[in-house]
Amino acid sequence: MSYWTLSITLIFVALPLLLSKTLNLGLERDTVIATVRSIIQLLAVGYILKFVFDSESLLYIFLMVTLMIAAATHNAQKKGIAIKGIVWKVAATLVFVEVLTQSVLLGFGVTPPTAQYIISISGMVIGNSMVLAILFLNRFTAEVETHQDETELVLSLGGTPKQAIHTQLMHSIKASMIPTIESQKTVGLVQLPGMMSGQIIAGADPIQAVQFQLLIMFLLLTTAAVTSVMLGFLSYPTLFNQRMQLLKS
């Protein structure tokens, strides 16, 4: 696609601008900012990726993945600000998920050890893990807040913190995993995944595109499970003190 052809697609930006102006929605400024930012950010990433792919340097791959994890951690930790040490807990979870998935893919030779594969797959894994962490932390903090009485009840009957928080923890893990599982049930029926569509548009064999999509989907299942379980088990002890008392936020 040439830049001229791409510029024609700005029609799709002009249309919402026109609607916003006509209906007095007041979204013109935000729409323009969003468009300009997306152009600059994506072009910048495109050039950076081209540079890293061409260099095939392990250091650059490592730096790219580290940057992704840092940005994802910064974004996700905001939802768990009440949990002590949330930054390193989220970071440790994302690092573990990344190491686990890449170890399987590279270790079994599923994907080649090139920047093109490592960075693209890492982006999907870390991005998904970040969303899962946000979903989990949102739900978990709400569950803990709403069910303080039940938590204190179990403690008062001689239960341990793990027993006291068990129900809330399991509900939060389950709730954060459900969207991933549900979206996989309808994949191919309701929507064609972005990566697969992208490959097909770029001229790849649809069967090969499906194979890669399946690989990604299976990865995301593991990502969902490991992220919410690991973050859950790292987070709950900080809600209690040494005397097994529930710390009020």
Partner 1 sequence: MFTDYKPAVHLNQVSYIIDGNKILKRITGSFPEGKITTLVGPSGAGKTTLLKLCNGLLSPSSGELYVKGQPINSYEPTELRRLVGIALQSAPMVSGTVYDNLALPMELQSKKLSADAAKQLLHDVGLEEEFMHRKVSDLSGGQRQKVSIARTLVNRPDILLLDEITSSLDRTSLKEIEELIAAINRKYKTTIIWITHNLQQALEIGDFTWVMMEGEVIETGESELLKSPATDKVRHFVKGGAV
Residue at token pair 């573990």: 96
Torsion over CA: 41, 45, 92, 154 (sign): positive
Torsion angle defined by CA atoms of residues 147, 152, 155 and 160, in that order, rounded to the nearest 10 degrees: 40
Q: Do residues 89 and 234 touch, judged by C-beta distance below 8 A? A: yes
Find the helix or strand (DSSP H, E) in which 16 lies: helix 11-22
Out of 31, 111, 138, 167, point to the residue binding partner 1 (CB under 8 A): 167
Binder of partner 1 out of 1, 11, 23, 157 (CB under 8 A): 157
Neighbours of 121 (CB within 10 A): 22
Distance between CA atoms of residues 119 and 122, nearest Å: 5
With binding defined as CB under 8 A, does residue 55 bind partner 1?
no
**Residue 22 in the binding site for partner 1 (CB under 8 A):** no
Least CB distance to partner 1 at residue 175 (A) = 16
Which of these segments, 10-18, 183-191, 223-231, 237-245, binds partner 1 (CB under 8 A)?
Answer: 237-245
Span from 74-82, 106-114, 191-199, 241-249 in contact with partner 1 (CB under 8 A): 241-249
> Cβ of residue 160: shortest distance to partner 1, in angstroms?
6
**Closer residue to partner 1 (CB): 109 or 158:** 158
159 binds partner 1 (CB under 8 A): yes
Segment lying near partner 1 (by CB under 8 A), choices 24-32, 94-102, 104-112, 151-159: 151-159
b/e for 21-39, b at 16 or more Cβ within 10 A?
eeeeeeeeeebeeebeeee
Mark the segment that binds partner 1 (CB under 8 A) among 17-25, 38-46, 108-116, 158-166: 158-166
Is there binding between residue 155 and partner 1 (CB under 8 A)? yes
Dist. CA 211–CA 209, nearest whole Å: 5
Q: 14 or 153: whose CB is closer to partner 1?
A: 153
Applying CB under 8 A, the residues found at the interface with partner 1 are: 149-150, 152-160, 163, 167, 243-246
